[in-house]
């Protein structure tokens, strides 16, 4: 695979391909800056060109030859897609209408915990229904179409009517780095939701990256949780993640991960789904965590996906793993 940027007069000093896990310096030849990536284990790739001009000015440029563009948490990016890539069918499927209500829930942090609660039409406050808690919830809704996913699966009958708690975050790196205060805060928030709404247990928890780590820790620590989805979880290991070791909260995360992996057994098996990109740098971390969770007695489904570390990848890999686990979990009683 080759990506190119046109520069017939060689007016640019340098061009670097900026893409998760595939950053590389481009070479100029015959009017083009080119970067050869070989055969990648992905069906789509989000990227930009980091350009340095002759006067030293730098900028981040989209690929003018690429018509596919995605809005990410880090700005707009061009998207290369392999010929066999297709978005999930549920994106265009009919879905039940729903409504959002903003809540500020009690926490052990400085201030409240912001949550947008989505409720499908017709589900009353005292009608018992499952609850899905989503870390980085507003981002999941905006960039991974989580509410459309929920609405479509309720409409089709694949899942029962359920509420979705889109958990916001004010200090993401601190909160989602195995923070004991944040983990207690989720418990307090769930207490309040159970008081205000009829929640039919078990609760399901999901998240990606640091949110994937946090979702697993919440699930392991709260008896009300029965299912966890961790996408590209940040399960840092000092032996595997030296490139992440300068992160302020690396030590705290590594200690929490080690405690999970070194446990001897569990008396409360969870239904755990895990997805990670085939070419992601944290694939080895996720493989190791999945193996240890299975050893402990948890029901673990791990899927390697043909994408990298981004919301579209997480959107595209919700199915079939998450509906199946929720069907199983929500058919149980605790």
Model pLDDT, residue 201: 76
Q: What is this structure's pTM?
A: 0.94
Domain span holding position 29 = 2-81
Q: Which CATH number goes with the domain that contains 42?
A: 2.60.40.10
Same domain, 100 and 48: no
Which of 204, 201, 217, 223 has its CA nearest to residue 267? 223
CATH number of 185's domain: 3.40.50.1820
For residue 33, the model assigns a pLDDT of 97
On whether both 24 and 58 belong to a single domain, the answer is: yes
Spell out the SS3 assignment of the chain.
CEEEEECCCCCEEEEEEECCCCCEECEEECCEEEEECCCCCCCEEEEEEEEEECCCCEEEECCCCCCCEEEECCEEEEEEECCCCCCCHHHHCCCCCEEEEEEEECCCCCCCEEEEEEEECCCCCCCCECEEEEECHHHHHHHCCHHHHHHHHHHHCCCCCCEEEEECCCCHHHHCCCCHHHHHHHHHHHHHHHHHCCECCCEEEEEECHHHHHHHHHHHHCCCEEEEEEECCCCCCCCCCHHHCCCCCHHHHHHHHHHHHCCCCCCCCCEEEEEEECCCCCHHHHHHHHHHHHHHCCEEEEEEECCCCCHHHHHHCCCCHHHHHHHHHHCCCC
**pLDDT at residue 1, as a whole number:** 87
Give the pLDDT confidence of 272-288 residue by residue, as tens digits. Answer: 999 999 989 899 999 99
Closest CA to 180 of 225, 217, 143: 217
Q: What is the pLDDT of residue 38?
A: 87
Last residue of a domain, one of 24, 49, 81: 81
Residue 40's pLDDT is: 87
Q: What's the pLDDT at 20?
A: 82
Question: Which parts of the chain register pLDDT below 50?
Answer: none
124 with 104, same domain: the answer is yes
Q: What is the pLDDT of residue 334?
A: 54
Residues 153 and 233 in one domain: yes
pLDDT reported for residue 332: 79
Q: How many domains does the chain have?
A: 2
Which among 57, 81, 105 is the end of a domain?
Answer: 81
């Amino acid at each position: 695979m080759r990506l190119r940027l046109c520069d017939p007069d060689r007016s640019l000093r340098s061009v670097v391909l900026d893409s998760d896990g595939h950053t590389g310096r481009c070479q100029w030849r015959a009017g083009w800056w080119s970067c050869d990536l070989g055969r990648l284990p992905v069906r789509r790739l989000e990227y930009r060109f980091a350009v340095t001009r002759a006067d030293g000015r730098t900028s981040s440029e989209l690929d003018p030859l690429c018509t596919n563009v995605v809005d990410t948490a880090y700005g707009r990016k061009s998207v290369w897609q392999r010929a066999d890539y297709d978005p999930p069918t549920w994106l265009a499927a009919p879905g039940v209408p729903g409504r959002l209500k903003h809540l500020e829930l009690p926490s052990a942090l400085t201030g409240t915990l912001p949550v947008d609660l989505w409720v499908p039409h017709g589900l009353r406050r005292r009608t018992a229904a499952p609850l899905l808690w989503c870390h980085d919830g507003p981002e999941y809704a905006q960039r991974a179409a989580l509410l459309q996913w929920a609405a479509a699966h309720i409409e089709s009958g694949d899942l029962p009517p359920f509420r979705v708690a889109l958990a916001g975050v004010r200090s993401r790196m601190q909160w989602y780095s195995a923070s004991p205060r944040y983990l207690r805060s989720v418990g307090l928030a769930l207490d309040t939701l159970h008081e205000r709404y009829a929640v039919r247990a078990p609760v399901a928890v999901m998240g990606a990256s640091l949110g994937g780590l946090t979702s697993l820790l919440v699930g392991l620590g709260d008896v009300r949780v029965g299912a966890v989805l961790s996408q590209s979880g940040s399960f840092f290991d000092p032996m595997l993640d030296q490139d992440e070791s300068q992160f302020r909260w690396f030590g705290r995360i590594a200690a929490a991960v080690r405690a999970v992996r070194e446990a001897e057994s569990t008396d409360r098996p969870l239904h755990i789904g895990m997805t990670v990109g085939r070419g992601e740098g944290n694939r080895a971390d996720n493989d190791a965590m999945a193996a240890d969770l299975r050893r402990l007695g948890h029901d673990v489904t791990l899927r390697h996906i043909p994408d990298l570390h981004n919301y579209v990848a997480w959107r595209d890999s919700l199915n079939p793993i998450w509906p199946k686990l929720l069907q199983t979990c929500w058919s149980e009683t605790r």
